[in-house]
Amino acid sequence: MSISNAFRLSRRTLPAFAAEGIFWGAFAAFAPVLKAGIGASDAAFGWVLLASATGAVTAMWLAPRFDARFGRVAMAIAAVMLGLSFQGPMYVSSILLFGALMVLVGATSGLLDVVMNSRLSMIESRAGVSLMNLNHAMFSFAYAASALLTGIAREAGAAPWQVYLALMAVVCLLAWRAVQSNFEQEEHEEEPSNARLPRAVFWGGAIILAAFLSENAVEGWSALHIERTLHGGAAEGAFGPAVLGVTMGVGRFAGQLVVARWSPAVVLIIAALLSAVGALTAAFAPTPAIAYLGFGTLGLGVSVIAPMAFALVGRRVTDDLRARAISRAAVIGYFGFFIGPPIMGFVSEATSLRMSFVFIAVVLALVPLLFVLLRRSDKVAS
């Protein structure tokens, strides 16, 4: 399939993935400012970020109802809701109020995440093609561009609320592009099967969790690592998450070509070990330049772990269970997005920020073991 055809099929979902990346990229670049603004320690900031998981978990379970209720405009509405929810934390200085508002941010982020991935999965099924790498690459590139531009804006003296108001305008345009036609929506429906799923779904979800945990933890703390540990400036700090986002985007674009030559199992193991090396490089980097090398290496490796895990889970179930199995693995995996940053904060408070990145390396090094457990699990539901 040509890349132009992949873009055509993804013309409604790509804006939604971009919207998610834009807001979280800016948040990563502003993390040092927001943390200082509420007077939070590393552990306290970790707890605040964990608050978003509460809203996200609830939203993920309610997302199918939201999707069915709003139909072809569900992605657009969720994107606007995400933009609105991000406005609140930019104005507050109370750690408790900041945490409460982050619950709402997590809820809207989780809602959009589930809806857009569900729609993308439906498009893939109807067209008989793979589009996940392209769409997730859009998230990564949007995240990187947003983080980099936000860092430049910070250097110029822009306040968080000013940047997020500008981003809100951008996302409103993206939301308009995410509205689906009646034809694009008409075949969308929920998977009704209640049959028991195989254990492979759990192990696949655990692999996805490890990938998402590592990705979002580094996104949330890389700027602080550059600025505090390595004494970089605001723009240098924002360049950390930007490097991660760019290399993840490149890795996801390249992932389709690599899988054509190697099996998903080989790609998964190599990617996990490569990303672990990248995390260790960032952990012990003496300069920002070496840290960027580590973030880039980690980004290239971790970018393909989740898509490969989804593919492996899909191969372990029968056709009638595939959609439900992938959705359940995704729910397990998405916890990693929300628990990664707070765990980094806890480890940093107990030891150091460098050791937080060592912890991420250990998590990634466990992926091959999780893969072995997935391969040994039952292949179909019994």
Closest CA to 295 of 27, 15, 28, 110: 28
Burial letters for 27-62: b for 16+ Cβ neighbours within 10 Å, e otherwise? Answer: bbbbbbebbebbebebebbbebbbbbbebbbebbee
Task: Report the sign of the C-alpha dihedral through residues 46, 49, 51, 54, in that order.
Answer: negative
Q: What is the pLDDT of residue 82?
A: 95
Q: What is the pLDDT of residue 42?
A: 80
Q: What is the pLDDT of residue 66?
A: 85
Q: For residue 351, give the 3-state DSSP assignment.
A: coil
Which residues make Cβ contacts (< 8 Å) with residue 351, sequence separation at least 6?
none
Q: What is the pLDDT of residue 381?
A: 44
φ/ψ region of 212 (left if φ > 0, alpha if ψ in -120 to 50, else beta) reads alpha
The letter for the amino acid at 244 is L
Alpha-carbon distance 233 to 354, whole Å? 18
pLDDT in single tens digits along all 382 residues of the chain: 567 888 888 888 999 999 999 999 899 889 889 999 999 888 788 778 777 777 777 787 777 778 878 888 889 999 999 999 999 999 999 999 999 999 999 899 988 987 887 787 778 777 777 777 788 888 888 988 898 899 899 888 899 999 999 999 998 999 898 887 654 555 444 444 566 778 888 999 999 999 989 988 887 788 889 998 999 988 888 888 888 878 888 888 887 667 667 777 888 899 999 999 999 999 999 999 999 999 999 999 999 898 788 778 877 777 667 656 776 787 788 778 777 878 888 898 899 989 999 999 999 999 999 999 998 876 544 3
Alpha-carbon distance 359 to 211, whole Å? 13
Alpha-carbon distance 7 to 5, whole Å? 5
Alpha-carbon distance 271 to 6, whole Å? 24
On whether the CB atoms of residues 21 and 147 are closer than 8 A, the answer is no
Query: Which tokens sit at 210?
Result: 């490890």
